Amino acid sequence: MKIKPKHFEHIKTEIDAVLLKYNQDDRLVEEYRQGLYPRADKTKDVQRRFCFDVMYGAGLSGFVCDKLYPYLNDDHIYTALKAICPAIERATL
């Protein structure tokens, strides 16, 4: 990963707190797996959507803009987020 270790740890700490609060019993993961979130029908990559939604929900937008975008792009950030967030596969209907 291209992200600096201190930045990765900051993101991980904030996302872990959000997941602890909202993903008890994998409830949040299951909602995304089933497509129970806004504009789910337009989502091509549910894992990417979940990762960036959780990052936004953790209040990390300013941190990403100020600290990460100067040296990373969305693909690099997504690699870090995948290492932090639970894996999700869309449920087949």
List, for residues 6-38, the tens digit of each pLDDT value: 999 999 999 999 999 999 899 999 999 999 999
Q: Where are the domains of the chain?
A: 9-84
- 56 pLDDT band (50/70/90 cuts)? very high
Q: Do residues 19 and 86 lie in contact, with contact meaning Cβ atoms separated by under 8 Å?
A: yes
Q: Cβ neighbours of residue 3 under 8 Å, at least 6 residues apart?
A: 11, 68, 72, 76, 77, 79, 80
What is the pLDDT at residue 92? 72
Rounded mean pLDDT, 61-77: 98
What is the pLDDT at residue 24? 87
CA-to-CA distance for 41 and 3, rounded, in angstroms? 31
3-state secondary structure of 45: coil
Q: Do residues 1 and 19 lie in contact, with contact meaning Cβ atoms separated by under 8 Å?
A: no
pTM > 0.75: yes
